[in-house]
Chains A and B, each alone.
Chain A
């Protein structure tokens, strides 16, 4: 990792056109490091710029990565990736004030190579991936904030970035903006419209220290195995959800909150985390955990329909900066989409540099690669999922209805004989206030979205 003083070398470089970088990648998160790694491997001079003191220092997420996207880029990644636990247990909980209905799946296969999901801490994981880019030849410059774009005239081709270091302009033939959910660079380039708070959620979480053996006992896990609990119905009047993940010797518990509802509710995020931790189905799992870090971060929840223009002259946008986090209810993924889009950006930028055409047309391979792969195919297929999942019925009425039906199903009311299941369901639906046409319409939407 470069010490803060190391920009001096590139200050000198910046003054000489011949020595400028081929590419500046802004942000050493998973998207930026993947882009820088691909570009450096193809022999291009890459500067990987990070505003934090180390990669991952500004990054926070729920807690699970799905690293199979690295199979080709870093074969055998699982031998060395800084993983906390391999997720072998995946549960979805629907909560009401005093009920919980959980679908709980476990697979021993997920605890063996090539694995599936893993819990990891971002300062570890992001630093590991950034080090791969450095090993391939990228220059990592930390503690330096990109403050704007260098352009050949107003609206012209992007030719680098300005930074907050004295004399710290970095000239490059291509800029890859991986500067996160607030991407000031994509906004400055005019690639985004006016941001709409309805496209964002706030994630807030607590990391609670507990001994590894306690975690394995409570979650019924073998050594090194982990659990991933996604929770709905735990955020009161605010659309969103909750999560509970196991690290090696800590738990990550938190909530995700739709911004407009959070703004209107007058409830503080940490109060909602406290409520989740006090729920009878959750409290025994987190009891005694000591708060060792509180954190918060925005999530670009809106998916496909909020994405910016992905390419401009001399510029590409990837990762959260391009809203590529997938928040589709049963699938909550982001790091893999960041890596996938970063790789595509790196390949397309390399191709454009090699052809000597970094115009919008020259960089058009980026969007084509994304459309041919999982990044935009998944996002396009699931474009209506965020709206469906944040609706009041999915958030509150259906969890309550499902819990009530299951409670009726398993409550033995002798001496009365058991009612038929159909009758029981119809009775509960009728008393729930959920209209059958809404249930049918939502089922149809869910089938079309997820089917």
Chain B
């Protein structure tokens, strides 16, 4: 009893829309654009599972904290000292998994 239906591609936006986030007023991650401009690896851009790091034309990184899984991948793969400052969001805020 295997349906022949092909998998429906899910856009990244729809993928993230399946997750509950209670967005805090303050960002819990800060990215130092100056430090990023000297970085050639930019591992955070592809490694972040929530795709929160966007490379900019000027060599900096645009970061959005609202849909963060709070996993810690970004600061661990970052090899530029001081580029990413990471802490937990304010209590009660951030990701709230329901079916994990």
Contact = CB atoms under 8 A, between A and B. Distances in A.
Most chain A Cβ neighbours within 10 Å, of B12, B77, B92: B92
B47 A202 contact: yes
A270 B15 contact: yes
A52 B92 contact: yes
A50 to B, nearest CB: 8
B99 A145 contact: no
Interface stretch (B16-24, B29-37, B57-65): B16-24
A89 interface: no
A263 B47 contact: yes
Contacts of A204: 49
Given A4-B92, A164-B90, A259-B77, 9 more contacts: A52-B94, A121-B98, A145-B89, A207-B99, A263-B43, A268-B49, A291-B10, A298-B71, A298-B73
Given A4-B92, A202-B47, A264-B43, A259 B2 contact: no
Interface of B: 1-5, 7, 10, 12, 14-16, 18-19, 22, 41, 43, 46-47, 49-51, 69-73, 76-77, 87-92, 94-100
B98 A123 contact: yes
A121 B99 contact: yes
Contacts of A61: 100
Contact of B91 (A144, A214, A278): A144
Interface in A293-316: 293-298
Contacts of B73: 202, 259, 262, 296, 298
Interface residues of A, number: 63
B53 to A, nearest CB: 11
Contacts of A4: 91-92
Contacts of A143: 91-92
Nearest to A277: B7
Contact of B100 (A51, A123, A277): A123
A58 B91 contact: no
A-B pairs with lowest CB-CB distance, top 5? A143-B92, A263-B43, A296-B49, A60-B100, A263-B77
A121 B99 CA distance: 6
A292 B91 CA distance: 25
Contacts of A287: 2-5, 7
A295 B5 contact: no
A293 B89 contact: no
A262 B77 contact: yes
A56 interface: yes
30 contacts: A4-B92, A53-B92, A57-B95, A57-B96, A58-B95, A58-B97, A59-B100, A60-B97, A145-B88, A145-B90, A145-B91, A163-B91, A165-B91, A181-B72, A182-B72, A205-B100, A218-B2, A259-B47, A262-B47, A262-B77, A263-B46, A265-B46, A284-B2, A293-B98, A294-B16, A295-B100, A296-B50, A296-B69, A296-B73, A298-B71
A236 interface: no
Contact of B7 (A57, A184, A247, A278): A278
Contacts of A123: 97-100
Contacts of A202: 47, 49, 71, 73
Given A51-B88, A164-B90, A288-B3, A57 B12 contact: no
Contacts of B72: 181-182, 200, 298
Interface in A191-205: 195, 197, 200, 202, 204-205
Contacts of A291: 10, 14-15, 18
A122 interface: yes
